[in-house]
Amino acid sequence: MKYTSRYLLNKKIISSSQFDDLVIEKKNIRIWKSRMTIEDGMKCNDTITIEFYDGNAWITKKEVNPHSVKEITFNEDIAEKLKDL
C-alpha cells in the first residue's frame, strides 16, 4: 500500500490520542500523524507511525519522517500474517 506524505499530512482526522491524530484505520492497520515537533523532543515534525494489529495488541512497525520522503509504502499483507502468529 502506498500513500503520499502530502496525502497523510492533510488527511481528515478520524480521532485523536494524547500526542497523535489517527488518519487511516483499517481492519489490522492504523496510521497516525504526530502532533509532536522537534521542539517537543521528536526527531522530526509530524512523524507518521504505522501500526499493525497482531491479534492481541497494536504494534508499531514503522515510523517515517514525512518531510524527507514523498511516498510512504508498507506491505498490507504483513498485517494479515501477524494476526496468525
pTM equals: 0.81
Dist CA 38 CA 17 (whole Å): 19
The per-residue DSSP string of 9-57 comes to: HHSPPSEE-SSEEEEEE-SSEEEEEE---GGGT-SSTT-EEEEEE-SSS
The pLDDT assigned to 5 comes to 85
Comparing 75 with 35, the larger pLDDT belongs to 35
Encode pLDDT of 48-85 as tens digits: 999 988 889 999 988 889 888 887 776 655 545 544 43
